[in-house]
A = this chain, B = another copy of it.
């Protein structure tokens, strides 16, 4: 029992360390590609806006914050030229927030940075272990929202 708990803590600590490292690497990689003044929270917003845009309320639910906070975040993205608010087709109350071309470029930069980080893992672990990770992790929290958690 004591051993089991300490094993669980070791696994948990390693996971959180890797997650922290990944977040930092993506953030730095994005900044290094010229997209500055962005925080990780913006990245999580991008993942929701990317496909077809989203409403402020959708975004708030995705990020786990109030819609007021989400609205402020959108303000910031709009001010910096990464997103824009358009009228919502089929609901005059709502507004559809979509990425600008600059927003898409930033999304691609984040993907490149993530790929770099994952390549670094591959060099340490080797291909088979990396594939095992790729197979295991998505099964743990299947539909899990990707958002800041602490």
Contact = CB atoms under 8 A, between A and B. Distances in A.
Interface of A: 4-24, 26-27, 39-41, 47, 108, 111-112, 114-115, 117-119, 121, 124-125, 129, 132-141, 144-150
A124 B139 contact: yes
Contact of A139 (B117, B125, B141): B125
A89 to B, nearest CB: 28
22 contacts: A5-B112, A5-B114, A8-B117, A8-B118, A8-B119, A9-B115, A10-B138, A11-B118, A11-B134, A11-B137, A12-B26, A12-B114, A14-B138, A14-B140, A15-B137, A18-B19, A18-B140, A18-B144, A24-B149, A124-B139, A125-B139, A132-B136
Q: How many copies does the complex hold?
A: 2
B23 A137 contact: no
A147 to B, nearest CB: 6
Closest 7 CB pairs of A and B: A17-B144, A20-B149, A19-B19, A40-B150, A8-B115, A14-B137, A8-B118
Contacts of A21: 140-141, 144, 149
A115 B14 contact: no
B14 A16 contact: no
Contacts of A22: 12, 15-16
